[in-house]
Amino acid sequence: MAEEKRKRILSGIQPTGAPTLGNYIGAVRNWALLQNDYDCLYMVADLHALTVRQAPAELRRRTREMAALLLAAGIDPTHHVMFVQSHVPAHCELSWVLACNTQFGELSRMTQFKDKSAKHPDNVNGGLFTYPVLMAADILVYNADLVPVGQDQTQHLEIARDIATRFNGIYGDTFVLPEGYISASGAKIMSLAEPAKKMSKSDTNANGFVLMTDDKDTILRKFKRAVTDSDEVVRFDREAKPGVSNLMVIYSTFTGKTMADIEAEFAGKGYGDFKLAVAEATADALAPVKDEYARILADKSYVDGVLKEGAARAARLADRTVAKVYRKVGLLQLER
């Protein structure tokens, strides 16, 4: 019997700084886990990073670092495809056609656009506005079935589906409609310092985030300072106890324990013991990634070799979609 064709996954991460525990739990850790069941394409989204002004040398360095970190986190570039977005021109080519099929109104409603323009009022550029169109192109150019992301990307995924549906309606069946894959609890890891806010590497308060590359002492210190509440009871309640609940999600991710297990484990104990346990579980989980990262990054030619091979494999898939789309919308194609 022929083996059933495996579903395809595409996801991306921007190289805009060292990734946080939020990126790890919300995305990268799942990317590694999903490799057993899907054909995966994982990408460093360097073009998306340009929507905020970047120091060129730093962006270049961080792009390679992010690739090394993905490899360290367990992305397997022999059975799957790992590449840098700008190395596959088809993303931009498709993005233009999709932009011509996307409405100003729908892009104006994107909350990330509104948030980012408020944060960088001196640089509300066209790229920031059309960011979701490029993201739709990233996904649709591979006809991805599934897109693993954190909660903050769900609106972008919705618009990718809307664009695909519209295009298919006008030009005939072209794109697969992608589904989001959002892990139940870790979809939104909150800041340790302000648990009402998403954990983010661009936070000005460094106590709010743990980086995937932080050492054990730093991790212990940041969790020790994590904001909780005053009732000293470890209980899961996102509304009433956001700080404690966020720590429980992190602990649950790394230990596999349920919320009920965790409540029982820390019944009658203070937050000090609990925070220490969360910090140790996190440090233990990140330690091998951190060590691998240092080892892999030292071998620049290995990382670049993976990216070169990845770009070639990705381009073979993506170019086919662009050719099909160009034909469908009526762009003249000459015989080769």
* Chain residues in the site for ligand TYM (CB under 6 A): 10-14, 22-23, 25-27, 45, 48, 135, 138-139, 147, 149-150, 152-153, 187-189, 198-199
DSSP string, 185-245: TTT-PBPSS-TTSB--TT-S-GGG--BTT--HHHHHHHHHT----SS------TTT-HHHH
Nearer to ligand TYM, 27 or 71 (CB): 27
Q: How far is the CB of 270 from ligand TYM (least distance, A)?
A: 27
Q: How far is the CB of 334 from ligand TYM (least distance, A)?
A: 31
Q: How far apart are CA 270 and CA 134, in angstroms?
A: 48
Nearer to ligand TYM, 210 or 281 (CB): 210
Nearer to ligand TYM, 69 or 266 (CB): 69
Q: How far is the CB of 153 from ligand TYM (least distance, A)?
A: 4
Q: Both tokens of residue 317?
A: 């898939």
Q: Which residues are catalytic?
A: 116, 198, 201
Nearest residue to ligand TYM by CB is 26
Please state the φ and ψ torsions of residue 79, each to the nearest 5 degrees. Answer: -95, -15
Q: How far is the CB of 18 from ligand TYM (least distance, A)?
A: 12
C-beta neighbour count of 325 within 10 angstroms: 22
Nearer to ligand TYM, 155 or 218 (CB): 155
Please state the φ and ψ torsions of residue 15, each to the nearest 5 degrees. Answer: -90, 50
> CB-side exposure of 283: number of CA atoms within 13 Å?
17
291 exposure class (CB count in 10 Å sphere: 0-12, 13-18, 19+): exposed
